């Protein structure tokens, strides 16, 4: 039987959050069950874009600060990592997102290290659904000794709900996310990709920041809801099942979770999930607003979604006028897709991880739109993230 700890936490006071997380972990067997001194622990946050922590669009920086303090007190090295979703449109906002969210500040002040998945390299994994051939995930996920997944409790306009299981989509670096969305625009098919990632990357603990949640038209345009909850589990599907029920959803109503249930990613029967912590009966979040499209019988136009993705498609291109021949792009490419002499990029090999773009000291690697009209449309929007 899976166990989900649900803690009541009024606000982001560091002492309060530390106490609630520690007591929750104690219920699961204590930190000693998971960690030992000298380990490198990666905190995989939800950093969807350059949003402040107060918007409830990202894992709150003070929540991460509290967890970082705990881990450092245990003698661990702490990494804080993610790849922002905005890279789908070729903007590459991950670096800006760490700053705007306050997570970079937390890392500087607490002695943690930021891991921008768009510049850290990628590793090929065996598990893939075949939608895009080989699957590549961010290298720090394989270099860390232990991973803690820290999703945000949020609604999602397209997927209805996003939580622990979906948060691992940020393990896909750079522009590759767009390819997965295009290959699997149907939520049921996209759910297969999400499960593939969850099976390739298995965090030891999932700690959901639900102190403030996002209701309505999430994952970025919704409203802040004071949920005052922290959810902790070693089972991401059980955690999401409980979180969904708290906001008035049933996991069977969310197509993106069909694959997770069919492939036994975790427990999803409420009667087989033990609640612990401050609640032994499921708490309900009164008045919580779901996305407007939930329950709609209107058929989703997936063809239109694919056209939008194609319209916004961007690829790295090297400007030879700016290139100084340092070859850091060539050396950093995990799949050797860049010719050392000509600097031509083999797009059949390129995995669009953005290492070349992020590591070029001379700004010679540009993210260029395949469609010049799209490039002109978002030029101003992209400039504020540089």
Give the integer Cα–Cα distance in Å for 40 and 9: 27
Confidence of residue 241 (pLDDT cuts 50, 70, 90): very high
**How big is the chain, counted in residues?**
386
pTM of the model: 0.90
Q: Residue 178's CB: how many other CB atoms inside 10 A?
A: 21
Among the residue ranges 71-75, 108-112, 134-138, the one predicted with the least confidence is 134-138
Q: What is the pLDDT of residue 384?
A: 45
Question: Is the model's pLDDT at 237 over the cut of 80?
Answer: yes
- Write out the two tokens for 269: 């029967």
> Which fold, 314-369?
Alpha-Beta Plaits (3.30.70)
Contact 266, 45 (CB under 8 A): no
Q: What is the pLDDT of residue 177?
A: 85
Q: What is the pLDDT of residue 375?
A: 46
Contact 137, 81 (CB under 8 A): no
More confident residue, 59 or 296: 59
More confident residue, 237 or 253: 237
Query: Distance of CA 333 to CAs 120, 169, 197, 330, Å?
Result: 10, 21, 21, 6
**Average of per-residue pLDDT across 284-289:** 97
**Average of per-residue pLDDT across 52-64:** 98
Q: What is the pLDDT of residue 228?
A: 98
Question: Is the model's pLDDT at 131 over the cut of 60?
Answer: no
Among the residue ranges 7-11, 186-190, 241-245, the one predicted with the least confidence is 186-190
CA nearest neighbour of 200 among 247, 147, 132, 268: 147
Question: Is the model's pLDDT at 79 over the cut of 70?
Answer: yes
Query: Distance of CA 284 to CAs 146, 244, 245, 281, Å?
Result: 32, 10, 7, 9
Give the integer Cα–Cα distance in Å for 180 and 193: 8
- Write out the two tokens for 239: 């955690």
Residue 108: partners with Cβ closer than 8 Å, 6 or more residues away = none
Beta strands in the chain, from DSSP E residues, in sequence order: 2-8, 40-45, 77-82, 113-116, 122-125, 135-138, 146-150, 152-156, 160-162, 205-215, 223-225, 229-233, 273-277, 314-318, 365-369
Query: Distance of CA 381 to CAs 97, 189, 348, 360, Å?
Result: 14, 31, 29, 21
Give the integer Cα–Cα distance in Å for 22 and 188: 36
Common-topology check for domains 2-277 and 314-369: no
Q: What is the pLDDT of residue 368?
A: 80
Q: What is the pLDDT of residue 115?
A: 98
Among the residue ranges 17-26, 95-104, 122-131, 238-247, the one predicted with the least confidence is 122-131
Confidence of residue 181 (pLDDT cuts 50, 70, 90): confident
Contact 44, 137 (CB under 8 A): no
Q: What is the pLDDT of residue 367?
A: 84
Confidence of residue 32 (pLDDT cuts 50, 70, 90): very high
Q: What is the pLDDT of residue 88?
A: 57
* Domain residue limits, the chain: 2-277, 314-369
Q: What is the pLDDT of residue 201?
A: 94
Contact 277, 228 (CB under 8 A): no
Level-2 CATH architecture, domain 2-277: 3-Layer(aba) Sandwich (3.40)
Give the integer Cα–Cα distance in Å for 378 and 66: 37
- Write out the two tokens for 93: 């906002």
Q: Which helix (DSSP H) or strand (DSSP E) does residue 380 occupy? A: helix 372-383
- For residue 221, the SS3 value is coil
Confidence of residue 305 (pLDDT cuts 50, 70, 90): very low
Residue 77: partners with Cβ closer than 8 Å, 6 or more residues away = 38, 39, 40, 41, 113
């Amino acid at each position: 039987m899976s166990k989900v700890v649900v803690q009541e936490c009024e606000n982001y006071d560091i002492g309060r959050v530390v106490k609630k997380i520690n007591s929750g972990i104690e219920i699961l067997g204590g930190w000693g069950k998971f960690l030992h001194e000298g380990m490198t622990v990666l905190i995989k946050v939800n950093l969807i874009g350059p949003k402040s922590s107060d918007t409830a669009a990202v894992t709150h920086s003070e929540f991460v600060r509290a967890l970082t303090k705990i881990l450092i007190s245990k003698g661990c090295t702490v990494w804080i990592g993610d790849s922002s979703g905005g890279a789908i449109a070729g903007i590459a906002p991950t670096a800006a997102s760490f700053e705007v969210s306050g997570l970079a500040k937390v890392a500087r002040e607490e002695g943690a290290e930021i891991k921008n998945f768009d510049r850290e390299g990628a590793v090929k994994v065996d598990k893939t659904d075949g939608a895009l051939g080989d699957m590549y995930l961010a290298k720090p996920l394989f270099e860390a000794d232990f991973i803690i997944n820290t999703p945000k409790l949020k609604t999602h306009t397209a997927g209805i709900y996003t939580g622990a299981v979906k948060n691992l989509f940020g393990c896909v670096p750079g522009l590759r996310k767009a390819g997965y969305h295009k290959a699997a625009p149907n939520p049921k098919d996209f759910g297969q990709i999400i499960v593939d990632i969850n099976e390739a990357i298995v965090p030891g603990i999932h700690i959901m920041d639900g102190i403030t949640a996002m209701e309505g038209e999430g994952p970025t345009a919704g409203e802040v809801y004071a949920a005052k909850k922290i959810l902790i589990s070693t089972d991401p599907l059980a955690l999401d099942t409980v979180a969904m029920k708290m906001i008035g959803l049933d996991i069977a109503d969310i197509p993106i979770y069909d694959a997770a249930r069919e492939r036994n990613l975790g427990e999803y029967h409420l009667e087989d999930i033990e609640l612990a912590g401050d609640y032994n009966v499921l708490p309900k979040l009164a008045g919580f607003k779901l996305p407007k499209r939930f329950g709609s019988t209107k058929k989703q136009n997936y063809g239109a979604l694919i056209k939008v993705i194609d319209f916004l498609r961007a690829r790295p291109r090297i400007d030879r006028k700016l290139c100084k021949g340092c070859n850091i792009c060539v050396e950093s490419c995990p799949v050797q897709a860049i010719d050392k002499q000509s600097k031509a990029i083999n797009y059949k090999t390129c995995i669009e991880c953005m290492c070349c773009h992020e590591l070029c000291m001379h700004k010679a690697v540009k993210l260029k739109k395949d469609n010049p009209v799209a490039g002109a449309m978002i030029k101003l929007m992209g400039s504020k993230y540089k």
